[in-house]
Amino acid sequence: MAGPFGADSTTDEVLESVDLAGKRILVTGASAGLGVETARALAAHGAQVVGAVRDLDKGRAATGPVRDQASGGGGLELVELDLASLASVRARAGALVAAGAPFDVVIANAGVMACPKGETADGFETQFGTNHLGHFVLVNRIASLLRPGSRLVNLSSAGHRFSDVDLDDPNFAHTPYTEFGAYGRSKTANILFAVEFDRRHKERGVRATAVHPGAIQTELGRHMTPDLIRQLLPAGADPDEALAAFPWKTIPQGAATSVWAAAVAPADAVGGRYCEDCHVAALVEDPNVRGGVRPYALDPDRAKALWAKSEEMVGEAF
């Protein structure tokens, strides 16, 4: 069944009675936080999980629970992937295509958040380059491995409300850089990529969606300085008090929407949409409201324009 589930639902609750035996699922960022929990829950229900990680040693150390709890034929294979390097992305995609084993789900989970201004190996702004362009090339290069009935799940964020994509200046060459402005651009891009990928592939039975996991305290927040935290709070609010009172999710609650969208929700319900708290989110135009999805993030024309700009930036047409 698709529910009822909500903000407090966990991965195990969402996947209760779901048999994923025979399913092959790629999860990027499987060496920490949500990625490890996503892989654990899927493998515990019989899925063969391919965990893509930047650091194989770190990945092996972090994924003991995935291997220990795998059942029903489930298991874990770790592969190396650095989304901040298109050479690494293309090498991994090429190896997967050469192996020829199809996927039932790709969960584009890896990412960075609110980091200082920097560049990927290819000269792209770090957050846009890692969170969007790395996944854009990876997913498109392995699209032939997605069999009918499969799904792409892009991890976005409520942070998409901070900013729309800027197709004229994606690398902040002329725009003042802000950590959350750049994060917002990348998370909006994650949604728009799902919208256009879904449009292009749904006729062959492949659907795409984007999800917001919720606010979870993981290493994704390693760049969150006190000054950055203050930027998110009302003027004069005490950061320590605000953080203590904030309704944080646990990691199993945070990963629940990913596995719900991947294996439980009806494909037609989530295809081309944005989901949060294990349901399809409503359109919300008020920039001060955290929940819901901003209309610009689901704009089909904007999604097509981002696709074209992304192809131009990576020098590859899909």
Catalytic (active-site) positions? 156, 183, 187
Q: What is the pLDDT of residue 216?
A: 87
- Percent of the chain surpassing pLDDT 70: 90
Q: What is the pLDDT of residue 226?
A: 54
pLDDT > 70? residue 230: no
- Whole-angstrom CA distances from 202 to 209, 243, 307 are 11, 41, 16
Q: What is the pLDDT of residue 289?
A: 84
Whether omega for the bond prior to residue 4 falls within 30 degrees of 0, making it cis, is: yes
Residue 164: count of CB within 10 angstroms of its CB: 19
Which of the pair, 241 or 36, is modelled with greater confidence?
36
CA distance 240 to 284: 29
Q: What is the pLDDT of residue 208?
A: 98
Q: Taking residues 14-35, what's their average pLDDT?
A: 97
pLDDT > 80? residue 219: no
Residue 306 banded pLDDT, cuts 50, 70, 90:
very high
What tokens were used for 193?
């990529």
pLDDT > 50? residue 224: no
Taking each helix axis from N to C terminus, what angle separates 300-314 and 179-201, rounded to the nearest 10 degrees? 100
Compute the mean pLDDT over every residue in the chain, rounded to the nearest whole number: 93
**Domain spanning 11-217+248-314, CATH architecture:** 3-Layer(aba) Sandwich (3.40)
Q: Taking residues 195-206, what's their average pLDDT?
A: 98
Q: What is the pLDDT of residue 228?
A: 54
What tokens were used for 314?
């990576």
Q: For the range 302-306, what are the long-range contacts, defined as Cβ-Cβ under 8 Å and sequence gap of 24 or more?
A: 302/164, 302/165, 302/192, 303/192, 303/193, 303/195, 303/196, 303/199, 304/196, 305/167, 306/165, 306/167, 306/189, 306/192, 306/193, 306/196
CA distance 109 to 107: 6
Which of the pair, 180 or 241, is modelled with greater confidence?
180
Q: What is the pLDDT of residue 220?
A: 53
pLDDT > 60? residue 234: no
Q: Answer for the pair 77, 26: CB distance below 8 angstroms, yes or no.
A: no
Amino acid at 151: R
Prediction pTM value: 0.92
Which pLDDT tens digit goes with each residue over 118-172?
Answer: 999 999 999 999 999 999 999 999 999 999 999 999 999 999 999 999 999 999 9
CA distance 205 to 22: 18
Q: Answer for the pair 97, 138: CB distance below 8 angstroms, yes or no.
A: no
Q: What is the pLDDT of residue 292?
A: 97
Which of 64-73, 211-220, 225-234, 283-292 shows the lowest mean pLDDT across its residues? 225-234
